[in-house]
């Protein structure tokens, strides 16, 4: 009899974390590896946020807090939703977790029963399906093509809804593609969901502030009558370069928030008190640097997209936001190159050119790979030259 639980056997380790760890190991072994796998801003946490954390330490804010967030942070989150999304919430409708990932995991653990279906548009963030499986649910994957801009259409949504559908996940701008849903696209999906009154919506808005080309961000609770059935998740990790501080939050129906608090009380309990104090400053403090950093990301995006599209065998859409591109390598998967899958492609790229990217199949769509351009332009220029050299060798 195995000591490992059956539920754990249903899932796999995070592919993005695995790629990042592999890159670290190769660097430690002396290899000149360029890691383009991690979804982490390379900018430092702003100084005012760091100072707020230091002040919290000095005044002794180092004790347990309320399980799902301090009153000060919850108030800051309420202000954020009202200021930026025109959404009104009460304190009882807010939860704070150790990163957005915990908030999502808590939500599924608190609401899913065996056989409940969760609609997940692909390409998807790698952790969505496995979290659903751990909670006893069934991921219902809908493949969204490059021709559709990697976005879910109302027609496809209609076809996949069943009596067992409990949640749908919407992520805009998206990881891994950077695709963003317009106000009309969200509204058209909402019209279908309004008619299906038992379905809840999980809106993953973590890349809300990383967007380009005058792309206007809207969240589904803001543009529809679905607020009472929507859990809107966000956090400080991407917008404020606070990945290591581990603070995510969500707003939604009181019943779900209460259930999430119950789960968290028996797992991690409260997030770090120091990180929460820093997050208060992040949300309430000056916000101008966000646009400055988005401009830097945009410059990198433009360079990477142009470089990839100049390589024979590679094609890449221009994303609306986040800091990823999701280029196709399908034309390089053939008998001549001896590459059968996108996994073969990324493994050979790492072996031959020391560039670490993530295969598209990890995100639910074969024939692609994900590049994170949340690194320096110097690294990106070196990486693009290596990828070009690699593909030219394949094309000979």
How is 152-209 classified by DSSP, letter by letter? Answer: --HHHHHHH--TTEEEEEEESS-TTT-----HHHHHHHHHHHHH-TT-EEEEE-TTTT
- The percentage of residues in the chain with a pLDDT greater than 70, rounded to a whole number, is 100
Q: Quickly count: other Cβ atoms within 10 Å of residue 341's Cβ.
A: 15
CATH number for the segment(s) 6-44+289-395: 3.90.1150.10
**Top CATH class, 63-284:** alpha beta
Mean local confidence (pLDDT), 314-339: 97
Angstrom distance (rounded) from CA 120 to CA 158: 13
Q: What are phi and psi of 287, to 5 degrees?
A: -115, 0
pLDDT at position 88, please? 98
Q: Quickly count: other Cβ atoms within 10 Å of residue 82's Cβ.
A: 12
Mean local confidence (pLDDT), 14-38: 83
pLDDT at position 6, please? 83
Angstrom distance (rounded) from CA 24 to CA 35: 8
Per-residue pLDDT tens digits for 82-104: 999 999 999 999 999 999 999 99
> Quick check: 221 pLDDT over 90?
yes
pTM of the model: 0.95
> Quick check: 16 pLDDT over 80?
no
Angstrom distance (rounded) from CA 367 to CA 342: 5
Angstrom distance (rounded) from CA 206 to CA 84: 14
pLDDT at position 225, please? 93
The residues spanned by each domain of the chain are 6-44+289-395, 63-284
């Amino acid at each position: 009899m195995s000591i490992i639980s059956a539920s754990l056997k249903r899932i796999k380790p995070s592919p993005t974390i695995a790629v990042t760890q592999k890159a670290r190991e190769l660097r430690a072994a002396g290899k000149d590896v360029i890691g383009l796998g991690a979804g982490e801003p390379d900018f430092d946490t702003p100084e005012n946020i760091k100072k707020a954390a230091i002040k919290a330490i000095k005044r002794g804010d180092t004790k347990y807090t309320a399980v799902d967030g301090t009153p000060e942070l919850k108030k800051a989150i309420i202000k954020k939703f009202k200021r930026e999304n025109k959404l009104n919430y009460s304190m009882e409708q807010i939860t704070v977790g150790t990163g957005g990932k915990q908030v999502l995991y808590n939500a599924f653990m608190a609401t899913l029963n065996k056989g409940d279906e969760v609609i997940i548009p692909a390409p998807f963030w790698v952790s969505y399906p496995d979290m659903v499986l751990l909670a006893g649910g069934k991921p219902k994957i809908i493949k969204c093509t490059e021709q559709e801009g990697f976005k879910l259409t109302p027609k496809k949504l209609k076809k996949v809804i069943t009596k067992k559908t409990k949640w749908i996940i919407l992520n805009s701008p998206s990881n891994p593609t950077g695709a963003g849903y317009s106000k009309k696209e969200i509204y058209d999906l909402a019209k279908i969901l309004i008619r299906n009154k038992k379905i809840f919506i999980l809106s993953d808005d973590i890349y809300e502030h990383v967007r380009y080309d005058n792309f206007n961000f809207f969240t589904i609770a803001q543009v529809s009558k679905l607020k009472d059935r929507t859990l809107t998740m966000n956090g400080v990790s991407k917008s404020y370069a606070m990945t290591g501080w581990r603070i995510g939050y969500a707003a939604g129906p009181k019943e779900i928030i209460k259930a999430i608090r119950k789960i968290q009380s028996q797992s991690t309990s409260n997030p770090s008190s120091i990180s929460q104090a820093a997050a208060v400053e992040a949300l309430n403090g000056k916000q101008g640097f966000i646009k400055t950093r988005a401009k830097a990301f945009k410059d990198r995006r433009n360079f990477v997209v142009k470089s990839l599209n100049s390589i024979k065998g590679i094609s890449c859409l221009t994303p609306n936001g986040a800091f990823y591109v999701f280029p196709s390598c399908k034309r390089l998967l053939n008998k001549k190159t001896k590459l059968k899958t996108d996994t073969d492609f990324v493994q050979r790229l790492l072996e031959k050119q020391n560039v670490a990217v993530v295969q598209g199949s990890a995100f639910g769509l074969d024939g692609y790979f994900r590049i994170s351009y949340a690194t320096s332009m110097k690294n990106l220029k070196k990486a693009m030259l290596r990828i070009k050299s690699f593909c030219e060798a394949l094309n000979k």
